[in-house]
Every structure is written in structure tokens, then in C-alpha cells.
């Protein structure tokens, strides 16, 4: 297979999901930085890559795949070992539901473009962001408490962990009180002890500013 | 397989996606109404079904599946005919990316809980909603123009059409100018001419108020 190219930003939670999945599957990809702090995602050259002007985007076999959910499913189909989804359809659905809870119902309400919109309309994004983060994490705490055995679902990493770890990092940035989420914090501690997970962290990214 | 139970609301765009996929696959499910207009989703009895207090939720084999993306993937795995994803991993990724664009980057910013939050903070949700809807539909117009041949991707219905049709209905409710999206409107017209798609529409739902 030809080289994979990841349009990436060191602090993007959505790009981090993809870096973690690539790392867990030991699939190399060349990272091309899209500097969100400088607005590089809105440049016409990048819009030609992704008309949504968002990271991540993955180039594979000359085709661009956008959306982290779609990229992780593609990785699972083309690089199935180790699996990041369980075997039975119902268990797979439970993992995908956790991913979607984060990808649909938490992250889009706190990401950079929404923060910028709120600020441009003289609204303080802090309370807004903490409201949606807390509501989403509370539901996730219930699901992980029921389904997790060390990781979000069962006893090995799945796609759901690739979504959880960046979301908890974002929650701390937004000063969410983490005390109500002991099951999520336990998963995070166990996950971050794995080198293949730790090396996908923004602090380990070569593009992180000094 | 035991009877499927869909926790449903006639006007919910996310529940509609599931109804459309069930209809396209000719899979029966018993609809149980959760009256969002009366706040029934926040009742403890429903939170025991879905801790997120959102519809849809599908009960299958005694297990609850939440999140429309997860439900549609489960349906595809357990009821593969007719398929709602193409055959090759790259084409599947393109369809999933369209679904995620709508499910993550449009719908969560316009759904009922966000509208209610904005109103409770004395903010007019109209401009907000039209901003995110227009931005998302513009990106989708580019993708469908490149990948569609009658439907969103190729010449037969996929999951992406199950996401598109409810999103266009919502866009009209929020008075979005639809003129910039001729490719999306052409897909909608072709799709709605199919009885199995038309019968999933909110106007055809038995719970629609008179």
C-alpha cells in the first residue's frame, strides 16, 4: 500500500483519534501540519483537500478520506489487526455508540469553529462548553461503567478509547470538574500507560510549539 | 430474530434516519413514541433506556443500541441486503464521511437541546442554526457533486441518503436558502420518489399530530 498522508494538527482532538488508531495498529503515516492557530485550514489549498476546512483528512491510494469516524472504520477494514472493534455486531454497535456520543454530541459543540463563532458574537464560550461536556461525559460514565473492563468496552482498546482520551484532555482545558467521572479517569490512566497510546498525545507531537 | 423496538419521535431527524434504513432493508420494527415536544426524553424511565436522553434508541435481542450511526452500522452487519454501503473500503469511507459530516458537524448544532439552551440564554437560535446548516450543506454539495450519480454516492441509496433527506427537511424548517445546493436537491427528489424512502417521512408517521 502506498504511503498514507495525514493532514494533522498537534492539538486537534479529532486528528489525535486518528493518530492513536494508526499507532495502535502500527500503521505509519506522514503527518502534514495544518496550523489551525494560524487559520491554515481556511486556505483554498486546504479546502481543495477537505471542503469542510477541518482536520483530520487522510490521503490513501490517491483518495481523501475526511471525518475521523470514517477514517477509523477504513483503517479497521484495511488493517484489521489488532482490531479496534469487538467481534459481535451488538458489541460493535456499543463501541460505535460511544464514539458517536463523543464525535456528535460533545466535540462539535466545543471545537474551535464554534468557540470562534461564540466569541465573534460576544458570547462567553466557557459555560456553554462546560455544559455540553459535562452532559456528554455523564452519559459516557454510565455506559463505560456498564461495559468497560479496563477500557471503555471490555478489556482491550477499541475505537471508543481513541475518542475518549482526546475528549478528556479537552475537558481539562475547559476546566470541567472531572470528579464525577471515575470510570472514565480509570480508563484514561490504564490507556496512557501503553506506549502506543501515549505516543499519539499532543505533548509528544513533533509540531508542538516549544 | 426477536422483534426490534425503535424508541422514536415522528419529527426527530435522527430517528428518521433509522426509519429510512429499516424501510430500505424491509426490516420491521415496533415504534414506541418518545414525545420530545412534551420533554418525555428526560423522564427517568427513558433515561434508563438511553442515558443521553435522546432518540433514537433501538432494542435488539434485549440490548439497547443508541446513536443513529451505530444503529445503521448494526443494521448493515445484521441485515446486509440491500446494502447501504458500497463494496470497496475507500467508497465505504466516502459514504461514512458524508454521514459523519451531517451527524457531527450539522445536526448537533441545530437539534432541540441546543435550541432550548440558546433560548434559555436569551439568544436567537435562527442565525446560529442557519450559519452551521449552510456551512455544512455547502461542503456536502461539493462531495455529492463529485461522488453522486443520482444518489449521494453512486446510483443507489446508501446510509448517506438516510442522513441527507432529514437534514434537508430541517434546513427548510430553519428557512435556509436552498438555491446553492442543486446537487442535494436533485438527490432528494430522486430519493423521495421511492416508496420505501417516502414512507419513512415524518408526514407519513402515524404519531404526527393532526
pLDDT greater than 80 at residue A123: no
Residue with more model confidence, B117 or A4:
A4
pLDDT greater than 70 at residue B1: no
Inter-chain residue contact A63 with B114, CB threshold 8 Å: no
The whole-angstrom distance between A200's CA and the closest CA on chain B is: 23
Of A54, A69, A143, nearest to B69 by CB-CB distance is A69
Strand order in the sheet with B5-8: B30-33, B5-8, B57-60, B63-66
Residue with cell 455486531: A89
> Which residues are CB-neighbours of B146 under 8 A, at least 6 positions away?
none
Percent of chain B with pLDDT over 90: 90
Inter-chain residue contact B93 with A71, CB threshold 8 Å: yes
pLDDT greater than 90 at residue B116: no
Inter-chain residue contact B96 with A139, CB threshold 8 Å: no
Over range A12-25, report the average pLDDT: 98
Residue in chain A closest to B60 (alpha carbons) equals A90
Residue with cell 455544559: A131
pLDDT at A156: 98
pLDDT at A112: 87
From CA A64, how far away is CA A5, in angstroms rounded? Answer: 9
Over range B118-137, report the average pLDDT: 88
- Put simply, whether the predicted model's pTM sits higher than 0.80 gets the answer yes
Question: Residues of B with CB below 8 A from A73's CB?
Answer: 92-93, 96
pLDDT at B121: 79
pLDDT at A2: 82
pLDDT greater than 80 at residue A190: yes
Over range A184-197, report the average pLDDT: 98
Domains and CATH numbers, chain A: 5-82 (3.40.30.10), 89-196 (1.20.1050.10)
A61 interfaces chain B, CB cutoff of 8 Å: yes
A27 interfaces chain B, CB cutoff of 8 Å: no
Q: What is the pLDDT of residues A67-112, one digit of tens each?
A: 999 999 999 999 999 999 999 999 999 999 999 999 999 999 998 8
Over range A155-166, report the average pLDDT: 98
Ordered DSSP codes for B134-182: HHHHHHHHHHHHHHBSSSSSBTS--HHHHHHHHHHHHHHHTT---TT-H
Inter-chain residue contact A65 with B100, CB threshold 8 Å: no
Of A54, A67, A74, nearest to B89 by CB-CB distance is A74
Residue in chain A closest to B134 (alpha carbons) equals A52
pLDDT greater than 80 at residue A122: no
Residue with cell 466535540: A107
pLDDT at B166: 98
Inter-chain residue contact A93 with B73, CB threshold 8 Å: yes
Inter-chain residue contact B143 with A51, CB threshold 8 Å: yes
From CA A195, how far away is CA A177, in angstroms rounded? Answer: 27
* B170 and B134 Cβ atoms separated by less than 8 Å: no
pLDDT at A111: 87
Q: What is the pLDDT of residues B174-192, one digit of tens each?
A: 999 999 999 999 999 999 9
Of A104, A117, A131, nearest to B108 by CB-CB distance is A104
B101 interfaces chain A, CB cutoff of 8 Å: yes
The whole-angstrom distance between A94's CA and the closest CA on chain B is: 6
Inter-chain residue contact A90 with B128, CB threshold 8 Å: no
Return the bridge partners of A8, or none: A33
pLDDT at A53: 95
> Which residues are CB-neighbours of A137 under 8 A, at least 6 positions away?
A106, A167, A171, A176, A180, A181, A184
Inter-chain residue contact A70 with B105, CB threshold 8 Å: no
Chain A interface test: which of B57, B58, B69, B91 (most A C-beta within 10 Å): B69
The whole-angstrom distance between B172's CA and the closest CA on chain A is: 21
Count Cβ atoms below 10 Å from residue A120 Cβ, excluding itself.
Answer: 8
Of A53, A65, A89, nearest to B77 by CB-CB distance is A89
Q: What is the pLDDT of residues B13-32, one digit of tens each?
A: 999 999 999 999 999 999 99
> Omega into A56 within 30° of 0, i.e. cis?
yes
* A100 and B70 Cβ atoms separated by less than 8 Å: yes
Find the helix packing angle between B89-105 and A68-78, rounded to 10°: 160
Over range B96-109, report the average pLDDT: 97
| Mean of the per-residue pLDDT values of chain A | 95
* Confidence category of residue B123, pLDDT binned at 50, 70, 90: confident
Residue with more model confidence, A210 or B91:
B91
B42 interfaces chain A, CB cutoff of 8 Å: no
The whole-angstrom distance between B24's CA and the closest CA on chain A is: 20
Over range A187-193, report the average pLDDT: 98
Count Cβ atoms below 10 Å from residue A155 Cβ, excluding itself.
Answer: 9
Amino acid at each position: 500500500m502506498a504511503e498514507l498522508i495525514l493532514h494533522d494538527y498537534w492539538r486537534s482532538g479529532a486528528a489525535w483519534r486518528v493518530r492513536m488508531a494508526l499507532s495502535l495498529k502500527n500503521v505509519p503515516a506522514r503527518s502534514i501540519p495544518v496550523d489551525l492557530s494560524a487559520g491554515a485550514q481556511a486556505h483554498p489549498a486546504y479546502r481543495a483537500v477537505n471542503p469542510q476546512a477541518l482536520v483530520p483528512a487522510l490521503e490513501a491510494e490517491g483518495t481523501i478520506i475526511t471525518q475521523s469516524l470514517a477514517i477509523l472504520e477504513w483503517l479497521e477494514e484495511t488493517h484489521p489487526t489488532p482490531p479496534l472493534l469487538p467481534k459481535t455486531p451488538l458489541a460493535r454497535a456499543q463501541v460505535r455508540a460511544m464514539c458517536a456520543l463523543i464525535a456528535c454530541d460533545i466535540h462539535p459543540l466545543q471545537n474551535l469553529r464554534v468557540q470562534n463563532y461564540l466569541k465573534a458574537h460576544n458570547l462567553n464560550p466557557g459555560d456553554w462548553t462546560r455544559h455540553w461536556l459535562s452532559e456528554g461525559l455523564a452519559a459516557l460514565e454510565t455506559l463505560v461503567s456498564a461495559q468497560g473492563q479496563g477500557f471503555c468496552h471490555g478489556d482491550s482498546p477499541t475505537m471508543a478509547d481513541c475518542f475518549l482520551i482526546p475528549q478528556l484532555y479537552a475537558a481539562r482545558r475547559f476546566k470541567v470538574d472531572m470528579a464525577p467521572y471515575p470510570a472514565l479517569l480509570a480508563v484514561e490512566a490504564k490507556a496512557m500507560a501503553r506506549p502506543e497510546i501515549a505516543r499519539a498525545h499532543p505533548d509528544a507531537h513533533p509540531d508542538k510549539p516549544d
